[in-house]
Amino acid sequence: MSHHLTILTLLGCCFASCGPTTEATRPAAPTAAQVKQSTPPPPLDPTNIVSIAMGSKDHTTLVTALQAADYVRSVANPGPLTVFAPTNAAFDKLPAGTVESLLKPEQQADLKEIIKYHATTSVYEQKDLKDGQELAMANGKRVTIHIQDGKMQVNGANVLSSIRASNGIVHVLDGVLLPPKR
């Protein structure tokens, strides 16, 4: 879809520039980076995973990470997805400077790997998950579900709540899931 938006934007620039101009007055064509920066994301379904996160005061760090990784569109896709969404407090538990470092452009690959470790295809509601069950995540690694006394954990992070979305489900976590070393 991003490719189509780029083509449409470039075509629009071509049509807008039709007419009598000279080389000296002709504006330079926008670069791909400029088009990407100036093209807003499509309108979001108010009940999809990204909209839920954007509307939560407890997930501003997650939303910032999605934006830095250029994953807003990916998580807003029709799904179905299961997203394990750490709260701001969960990110605060990481060593000092970790989040700030991951948000730097040169760390985008690491940030993407961590974000993909929080998402999987399909919708996994708590009632469908079993103690000891492993889920394959978007980065190819696995998480382990633990259920004790009706409470669910993912790799030791507690599930605080679950919110159904139009494109899947969000399980709110009190910890950040860190993928195992490669």
Interstrand relation of 81-86 and 168-173 (parallel, antiparallel or unpaired): parallel
Interstrand relation of 157-165 and 81-86 (parallel, antiparallel or unpaired): unpaired
Report if residue 182 sits inside a domain: no
Range of the domain at 65: 45-173
Q: Which CATH number is 128's domain given?
A: 2.30.180.10
> pLDDT per residue over 3-23, tens digit each?
333 333 333 333 333 334 344
Question: Do 31 and 66 sit in the same domain of this protein?
Answer: no
Question: Do 26 and 58 sit in the same domain of this protein?
Answer: no
Report if residue 120 sits inside a domain: yes
> pLDDT per residue over 31-79, tens digit each?
334 334 444 555 567 888 888 888 889 998 888 888 888 878 777 777 7
Report if residue 7 sits inside a domain: yes
Report if residue 160 sits inside a domain: yes
Report if residue 178 sits inside a domain: no
> pLDDT per residue over 68-126, tens digit each?
888 787 777 777 999 999 999 999 999 998 888 898 889 888 989 998 999 999 999 99
Question: Do 166 and 79 sit in the same domain of this protein?
Answer: yes
Question: Do 24 and 55 sit in the same domain of this protein?
Answer: no
Report if residue 75 sits inside a domain: yes
Question: Do 86 and 60 sit in the same domain of this protein?
Answer: yes
In one letter, which amino acid is 129? L
Question: Do 166 and 134 sit in the same domain of this protein?
Answer: yes
Gap between the Cα atoms of 74 and 168, Å rounded: 13
Question: Do 32 and 107 sit in the same domain of this protein?
Answer: no
Report if residue 9 sits inside a domain: yes
| Distances from the Cα of 50 to the Cα of 13, 59, 76, 79, 111, angstroms | 30, 10, 6, 12, 17
Q: How many domains is the chain built from? A: 2
Report if residue 181 sits inside a domain: no
Question: Do 119 and 148 sit in the same domain of this protein?
Answer: yes
